[in-house]
Amino acid sequence: MHHRSEQFQPDSLSATVVPGLFAGTVAAVVLGVFAGTAAAQETSWWPTFGGQPGGAQYSDLDEIHAGNVSDLEVAWVHRSGDASWLEATPIHANDTLYFCTALNRVFAVDPVTGEERWRFDPHSDEGGLGLIEEARRDARCRSVAYWEAESPQPGRMCEKRVFKGDVHGNIYAIDGDTGASCNDFGAALGHPGYVTHWDYEGNGVGPRHTTSGPIVVGDRVIAAVGVEDSVVNASDGFVRAFNVRTGELAWEFNPIPPEHINETGAANVWSTLSADLSRNLVFLPTTSASSDFYGGTRTFPIPYATATVALSAETGEPVWHYQIVHHDVYDYDLPGHPLIATIRKDGEERDVAIQQTKMGFTFVFDLDTGESLFPVEERAVPASDVPGEVTSPTQPFPLLPEWFTPTTLTRDDLFGLTPLDRRWCQRQFDELRYEGMYTPPSIQGSLHYPGFQGGGNWGGAAFDPNSNLLIVKSLDIATRHWLRPNAGGAITPMPDADGASAPNVSASSSGPGDPMPGTPYRTQNEFFMSPLGIPCTPPPWGSLTAIDMDSGEIRWQIPFGQVRRFGITVPKFMGWGTAMIGGPITTAGGLIFMAASMDKKFRALDVRTGEELWQATLPYAGMAVPMTYMAGGRQYVAIAAGGNRRTYTEEGDTLVAFALGE
């Protein structure tokens, strides 16, 4: 099968924009789209970040398949004008594509033509709530959520709603047909059109924000809050459910034990959420408690920190949980939602939650009990030598599925573009503390492998029910980490209540690194790179892996993407792979679609073999998760292509859709 490449010239692209509001058609919802078990749900819509509420990042569409994917062509390109941190996955609902940008705007476009129907800007009197322009911040937005009434009334406002969170902790409700603000949402709280986490107690200091979208379960929109987890008494990592019409608080879940809310915070969810509608459960991938790299102030149990947590969507009460990292001081936050899926194992179908991790581990839990389907072993790990720190003596290691990221490193493994480059890496290695997995941060300086970016990360896993394969991306670069003592062992002052740093924070600290308010240390961490800017860890630096969910064995693993720096793309045969942001989807056509790499390529692979079947060159790197949908009798595949500053790729503002040639 031949490969096909479509070339773009970013400067020649032009947005197709229809100004003003568009009165979309009213499409009846088949409630079965959102109901059912953990099995793949049949729909041509893609109504949530992960495709369906379970977040398996799978579609049962098969018009595009291995036999014709080479005929994919660009169907349309939309430009938002917001060239910054475009990590969004559009959702397809109400015969419309909805997506958000890093400048706090929401766009609705025609799924067949890409023509803009409306845009929502909460900082504009014309299109939103008239919030002060100074509140706009350049920040990530990964997704929006959708709800509509059981029997929408034609012409009646806000019978269909799009929900969006922002960096200030607000959740907006937007009319799905017109883009107007739904002013009944939050009106009783004094701010029609949105609710905010700031209306409720946070039990700590620092910001409250949302970079990944909320999720809708029944008549509730459920939103998590991100916090500044370097602060000892950061705001707690609340997850809150609001009535979709009024914004009234239905429940809130706090992962911090009530007796310790004034001693620590965080354990929040910054990544995406998933749900099982038949069981009325919502699933959380939580982070470490604060402060994240020093736990000497939180020596008590915090069972919901760095844990997979299943909550009742009705009450917010925990149904089960599994702590994946004990006393996390490694920044091994759970980076993505548990995938809710039905796998085939030992001759039976099992409904499970599949949790990827930054460590390259995969945990597979029974959906009803939280019991692991594969054996997990508590193993001894290195102890901290930092004064005041008491790390956990053991950590859970799943024996299966096989780990999708290398987890050990030796001096001889180190890479260099030249012999001098490699020797520099080896000298640095000799100076660092490294005793394998879970080597804790140290004053000497520690090596973490996998690093704090993963292994796995957000959006990076998809399940294909036809082959019973989990497809997971991996970043395979080590990080170096130091704890820098403050001058005289002084405690770094806590921030003010509004999250601003106290005036004397920097004066109380010495040495490089970022302050950890409330501790006697600053933290400094960085990728383990040579003076030439090349990772010291051996390639591939980015890979894609297929894991058989019956046996737990790796079926195939390939380097993914090509490094591109200073206008030069490293040849594919070098096998280096690339740093990646985003992840894959799978389809019933036997395909994986994924961009995520530095080289601007969007690729289709054979899900059973990993063979590349098609690629196209995007106007900017597609640092997001793609999606697919049916509209006008054709299957489309769409990807947000906007680059990302964290991978040194040019930032843009394009959403690109592909379809088979007519």
Distance in angstroms (rounded) separating the CA atoms of residues 561 and 220 = 39
- Other CB atoms within a 10 A radius of the CB of residue 40 amount to 22
DSSP state of 415: -
* Catalytic site positions: 331
Distances (CA, A) of 229 to 200, 290, 356, 505: 19, 5, 21, 16
The residue among 108, 131, 141, 101 whose CA lies nearest residue 193 is 131
Question: Phi and psi at residue 589, in whole multiples of 5°?
Answer: -80, 5
Give residue 505's Cα distance to chain centre: 31
Kindly state the tokens that stand for 81: 């004008």
DSSP state of 10: G
Which DSSP string do the residues of 515-562 spell out, in sequence order? E-TTSSEEEEEEE-B-TTS-BSSPSPSEEEEEEETTT--EEEEEE-S-
Distance in angstroms (rounded) separating the CA atoms of residues 616 and 627 = 16
Distance in angstroms (rounded) separating the CA atoms of residues 490 and 508 = 7
- How many residues are listed for the chain in this entry? 662
Place of tokens 């890479």: 415
Which DSSP string do the residues of 381-395 spell out, in sequence order? -PPP-STT----SEE
- Other CB atoms within a 10 A radius of the CB of residue 306 amount to 27
- Other CB atoms within a 10 A radius of the CB of residue 281 amount to 23
**Three-class secondary structure assignment of 135-198:** HCCCCCCCCCEEEECCCCCCCCCCCEEEEEECCCCEEEEEECCCCCECCCCCHHHCCCCEEEHH
Give residue 163's Cα distance to chain centre: 17
Contacts of 606-613 with C-beta under 8 Å, sequence gap 24+, read 606/66, 607/464, 607/466, 607/467, 607/469, 607/471, 607/546, 608/467, 608/469, 608/546, 608/555, 609/556, 610/544, 610/546, 610/556, 610/557, 610/558, 612/3, 613/1, 613/3, 613/66, 613/69, 613/70
Distance in angstroms (rounded) separating the CA atoms of residues 321 and 326 = 13
Residue 498's identity, in one-letter code, is D
The residue among 622, 584, 579, 577 whose CA lies nearest residue 601 is 622
Q: What does R_g of the chain's alpha carbons equal in angstroms? A: 24
Question: Phi and psi at residue 338, in whole multiples of 5°?
Answer: -65, 130
Contact assessment for residue 175 and residue 191, using Cβ atoms and an 8 Å cutoff? no
Kindly state the tokens that stand for 2: 């031949």
